[in-house]
Amino acid sequence: MGQHPQASTSDVDNAWDILESQIRECYGRVVYTHKVHEKNADLYLARLRRTKILQILLSAITTGGILGVLFSSGAKVLEVITAATATTQFFLNTYIKEYSLSDTAERHSVTASKLWSIRESYLSLLADLISRQTTLDDARKIREELQQELVAIYEKAPRTISKAYKEAQKALKLNEELTFSDEEIDLFLPKPLKKKNR
């Protein structure tokens, strides 16, 4: 029977380094995507608040206009303003019903929560890899499971908007290319897991 050649120490070390690099990249992407969904939720909630304030304002103007028309004679300008305000309010109400800003914000929040869990799992996997508390095969298995969980999350995730990407980028101080240097990923990691400390 033929024997498989033994892997050299440098080959084994190289395998650990390659897997760690990939997990670090996955971790960085999940950190970024998590923040994008958080920012999306914030943006939709802010839009909902502004819309609700506008609804109240339009409702007050419409009510005041109706009362003005009832108690004054020949106020044609007041009738036109009241009609225009009521029409605007109708379209605003339709917009809110059609786009369901609160539901969209909630879906982004749920997605962010699920991504947070994945992010923490990647962090734990990194810790296990760096401290050699797992085997390469076990680490690969965990990586594959996390990838499958991510696919399921992304399939149900709401679409994100470019403003959220810009805000996430600003919040995380990353560049647009979704590439992560060791220094950038180190910004997200606790001190013992930072590459520069090893």
15 domain residue, yes or no:
no
Report the chain's mean pLDDT, rounded to a whole number: 84
Residue 178, domain extent: 23-197
How would you class 16 by CB atoms within 10 Å of its CB: exposed for 0-12, middle for 13-18, buried for 19 or more?
A: middle
Give the whole-angstrom CA distance, residue 80 versus residue 65. 9
Tokens of 90: 């109708």
Q: In terms of Cα–Cα distance, which of 108, 196, 104, 105 is closest to 154?
A: 108
pLDDT value at residue 107: 95
How would you class 79 by CB atoms within 10 Å of its CB: exposed for 0-12, middle for 13-18, buried for 19 or more?
A: middle
142 domain residue, yes or no:
yes
Count: domains in the chain: 1
Q: In terms of Cα–Cα distance, which of 103, 109, 101, 127 is closest to 27?
A: 127
Give the whole-angstrom CA distance, residue 57 versus residue 148. 48
Tokens of 22: 């990939």
Higher-confidence residue of 171 and 159: namely 159
- DSSP conformational letter for 31: H
3 domain residue, yes or no:
no
111 domain residue, yes or no:
yes
13 domain residue, yes or no:
no
32 domain residue, yes or no:
yes
Is the entire prediction scored with pTM above 0.85?
no
Inform me whether the pLDDT recorded for 100 exceeds 90: no
- pLDDT one-digit tens code per residue, 4-47: 455 566 766 788 889 999 999 999 899 989 999 999 999 999 98
Q: In terms of Cα–Cα distance, which of 149, 191, 194 is closest to 33?
A: 149
- DSSP conformational letter for 75: -
Residue 69 CB neighbour total at 10 angstroms: 17
When pLDDT is cut at 50, 70 and 90, the band that residue 167 belongs to is: confident
Cβ–Cβ under 8 Å, residues 190 and 120 = no
- pLDDT one-digit tens code per residue, 144-156: 999 999 999 999 9
10 domain residue, yes or no:
no
Which DSSP string corresponds to 62-102? HHHHHHHHHHSSS-HHHHHHHHHHHHHHHHHHHHHHHH-HH
2 domain residue, yes or no:
no
Tokens of 129: 């890899």
